[in-house]
Amino acid sequence: MSNYKKSLIITLIFVVSIIVAGCKKTGEQIKNDEQNEKIENLGTLVDSIDNEIIELKKEVKDGLNESKKRIDKIEMSDVDNWITFKIEKLGMEFEYPEILGEAEYNQGTNYHILSFSNKDYSFSLSGVTKDFSAPRGATNRDMTGFEKDNNKYYINYIYRKIKIVPKKVINNNIILLDCMSYEEKCEFMGPTAALSSGSLGVVINIPEQEKYTGLFSSIGENSIPKKVFVGIINSIKFIK
């Protein structure tokens, strides 16, 4: 083989090596570019999610603030805005702020409930019948009323009778409760019928009733103000 051909072959091998190396480098660069692009896209997605979380938190906070503003508008001095509602089936009437909306009373097979159409305010009264049962643990609404025995008070829940100390006795048919009314004294873990700290509750005995004998309600944060709650409770009358 002549020296010229040898030189030509060596030159071709050198050129091909450079091309192959270049292609390999280009392939690795493309792969790196694709990975970098994925990382950038992931970072953008994370930033977007973070922004959505921030916006959601702001919406929740604004919603709670707005709810609190609406609640604060209810004043006991607004006597003209209070209306009377009668529950003929129970022989019961009471007054409540018109801002709560329309009052509605319903009786089910083994429960009854008094609710209001304005859902901006968390307030209702309800109770169960003596034949009520539930697969879960009883809540503080799963009761049929209270009783007094030897100057001691007990709430009759569907599963047992609990001794309580009323925060205030309104009359023979109505008592107010708070978390200190229960044996747990505001300190409890897990499911319980006791009220949480800062809450105020009421148990109402409905006289001359055989099935729907009691009503319960409680309020806490983002519910109606306590003075309005007490005003409603104090207005309750039983009529024949």
- Structure confidence by residue, pLDDT tens digits, 159-202: 888 999 999 999 999 999 999 998 877 776 555 678 888 899 99
Tell me: do 223 and 104 sit in the same domain: yes
119 against 65, higher pLDDT: 119
Which of 49-63, 90-104, 132-146, 148-162 has the least mean pLDDT?
49-63
DSSP letter assigned to residue 151? T
Question: Which of 43, 72, 101 finishes a domain?
Answer: 72
* pLDDT greater at residue 10 or residue 197: 197
Same domain flag for 112 and 84: yes
Q: What's the total number of domains in the chain? A: 2
The answer, yes or no, to whether residue 240 has pLDDT greater than 80, is no
Q: How far apart are CA 12 and CA 44, in angstroms?
A: 47
224 and 136 housed in the same domain: yes
Q: Which of 72, 89, 105 marks a domain boundary? A: 72
**83, 65: one domain:** no
Strand partners, 97: 82
pLDDT number for residue 183: 85
> Are 83 and 178 within one domain?
yes
Give the residue from 50, 72, 94 where a domain finishes: 72
Q: 75 pLDDT exceeds 80?
A: no
| One-letter amino acid of 46 | V
Of 46-50, 79-83, 94-98, the range with the highest mean pLDDT is: 94-98
CA distances from 145 to 129, 190, 217 (A): 10, 23, 12
Judgement on whether residues 68 and 87 belong to the same structural domain of the protein: no
- Say whether both 15 and 106 belong to one domain: no
Q: Judge if 88 and 107 occupy the same domain.
A: yes
| H or E stretch covering 13 | helix 3-72
Domain range for 40: 1-72
Using a cut of 0.75, tell me whether the model's pTM lies above it: no
Whether residue 120 is found in the same domain as residue 230: yes
Residues 94 and 179 reside in one and the same domain:
yes
Strand segments, DSSP code E, in 88-199 are 92-97, 103-107, 111-116, 125-128, 143-149, 152-157, 161-164, 168-171, 174-177
Tell me, yes or no, whether 213 and 228 share the same domain: yes
> What are the pLDDT digits (tens) for 25-74?
555 666 666 667 666 766 676 667 767 777 776 776 666 556 555 555 55
> Do residues 86 and 63 share a domain?
no
